[in-house]
Structure 1
Amino acid sequence: MRVAVTGASGLIGAALTRSLEADGHEVLRLVRREPATPREVRWDPGGAVDAEALAGADAVVHLAGAGIGDRRWNAAYKREIRDSRVRGTRTIAQAVARTRPRVLVCASAIGFYGDTGDREVDEDAPVGGGFLAALVRDWEAAAAPAREAGVRVALARTGIVLGKGGLLGRTLPLFRLGLGGRLGSGRQWMSWISLDDEVAALRFLLDGDLEGPVNLTGPRPVTNAEFTRALARAVRRPAALAVPRTALRLALGEFADEGALISQRVLPRRLREAGFAFAHEDVDAALAAALA
């Protein structure tokens, strides 16, 4: 199978391309710089991609986008986050509509659901409130040109990915020093997935017949306090500290409420019903795999 991938240098994209290539598949990387190898194609998320280069692809995986938690939010960065996802997805979807691969797997996020409190939600839940929920709604809608052209489109609503990078990469040094702690009350729910299961789920979407929104989260969400205790156990350090809500809001601004303090209890109903088997069903197993 020949698979074109955007965002191939990120945490998820790099792991996915390694997995595909290890199994003998050909990966075509879409990059924003000058291509360095014959298996790279330059593209501009603002509106340009070489459709001819995608013509031989059996599948396209679109993962690119500005990091949601990489910088403090202000009006300019929120616009960059939005444009990178909405315009970038529209660009890819329009190219896919012309070349018609078998499937487009498009990154999305559980931010779609907003704050769910203690309530469990699955793919049938409506869009929530806030910047991220509106962003994900429009991000997913931008894939419409591919769907309207008859291409199967799977929208991978991903939770917190536990791997060597991302959230874990930022918090692990503090926990190893014994300086880790819960955020706010710690009662907010975290919907996580191991990096191994994230990659396996993306490949499941490539090979199967699921379309529309699919939650890529582990089957057992945990509260932030439970996650804190699990990570402390994994690194064999205490984690008795707590970061007050006010301090988080001072440090992170608006992102504190929509990123660090939001409660999202999201279940992967469609994956489970389709027969997907998780390698890491609980957060302790996922953390052990990430730290191995």
Structure 2
Amino acid sequence: MAIIVTGASGLLGSALVGALREQGERVVRLVRRAPQGEDESFWQPAKGLLDPAALDGAEAVVHLAGAGIGDKRWTDSYKREIYDSRVDGTRTLVTALNALSRPPQVLVSASGVGFYGDTGDHAVDESGPRGEGFLAELCERWEGEARAAGDGGIRTAQLRTGLVLSGKGGALRQMLPIFKLGLGAPLASGRQYWSWITVDDWVGAVLHVLRNRQVEGPVNLTGPAPVTNADFTKALGRALRRPTMPIPVPEFALRLGLGEFAGEGLVFGQRALPAKLTGSGYGFRHTRLDEALAAVL
């Protein structure tokens, strides 16, 4: 039996596919181009196109596809692209899964800690309420589409992922050039919390969710020790052996340069704790930020 993965070419998807194959799993990637082998199958989520034969009899599905949250400035049209790529894409996938005669045992679908909005210094676990803002509303609808797979008897889990630390890409890779020049600085107040997780722990946590039948519903994919942006800034400077700037980047400058994304993506913060992971026995490889940054860099 196969494990189906969407979004397999991204930073997280490629890491997960590699780990699954190392463990001897057969992986089939859903791709939006002509398939290049038996391990790929074509789909076009925007048009509702998907080959049910690729899903029939699969063991599990991991759904990670979606337009990048911070890849472009948040114009109205790009926000619509972000929304549609997640909500409509998940609906296409779940509709196909619920029509199968042999559905998979589990659907693991991406989401984000943006669900909680701005939590300030208040810690939240998976029982926390939805916050305010575009990302919070997006995550709620996105997760709702994934939960509909439960109508077909499929166990579902929604991965509320935080800041993933990797030296190969993602947000950390974008920060490195600035910090290597000694120009790293806190953002806005610096008091907003960043809930981080290393890419190795992210992959390990997804494998844990896939195999642990007791884990379902929203799952915070974050490490157990979130830190403030100011503390993250100091830690990254230490890891690179470079000084950091004591004066923060003003919020108005962030919004001028990055638009609406600056508010929800950088100024908002979530102090999210991985209650379901720790409660179900997942053991983190990296629990301290200094150690984590040393590992990924």
Shorter-chain TM-score: what band? over 0.9
Q: Quote the Cα distance in structure 1 between the aligned partners of 2:73 and 2:59.
A: 38
2:200 counterpart residue number: 196
1:95 counterpart residue number: 96
Q: Quote the Cα distance in structure 1 between the aligned partners of 2:2 and 2:289.
A: 33
Of the three residues 156, 178, 181, the one matched with 1:177 is: 181
Q: Quote the Cα distance in structure 2 between the aligned partners of 1:165 and 1:290.
A: 11
State whether structure 2 residue 109 is matched by structure 1 residue 109: no
Moved more, 4-13 or 96-105: 96-105
Any idea what SS the aligned residue of 2:99 has?
helix
1:263 counterpart residue number: 269
Any idea what SS the aligned residue of 1:37 has?
coil
Residue by residue, what CA displacement relative to the aligned partner does 1:153-202 show, whole Å, maximum 9, x if unpaired? 01111001001211101001111121211111211100011000000000
Any idea what SS the aligned residue of 2:291 has?
helix
2:172 counterpart residue number: 168
1:73 counterpart residue number: 74
Amino acid at match of 1:64: A
Q: Quote the Cα distance in structure 1 between the aligned partners of 2:33 and 2:8.
A: 13
Question: How much identity, in percent, do the aligned residues show?
Answer: 57
Structure 2: 5+ residue stretches without partners:
none
State whether structure 2 residue 39 is matched by structure 1 residue 39: yes
Q: Quote the Cα distance in structure 2 between the aligned partners of 1:135 and 1:284.
A: 32
Aligned residues: 291
Any idea what SS the aligned residue of 1:271 has?
helix
Give the C-alpha shift of residue 144 in structure 1.
3.4
1:16 counterpart residue number: 16
Amino acid at match of 1:200: G
Give the C-alpha shift of residue 283 in structure 1.
1.2
Of the three residues 232, 235, 243, the one matched with 2:240 is: 235
RMSD: 0.9
Give the C-alpha shift of residue 145 in structure 1.
3.1
Any idea what SS the aligned residue of 2:128 has?
coil
State whether structure 2 residue 128 is matched by structure 1 residue 125: yes
- Relative to the length of structure 1, the TM-score reads 0.98
1:85 counterpart residue number: 86
State whether structure 2 residue 254 is matched by structure 1 residue 248: yes
Q: Quote the Cα distance in structure 1 between the aligned partners of 2:129 and 2:148.
A: 22
Runs of 4+ in 1 over 6 A off after TM superposition: none
1:213 counterpart residue number: 218
Q: Is the 8 A contact 1:96 1:104 kept in 2?
A: no
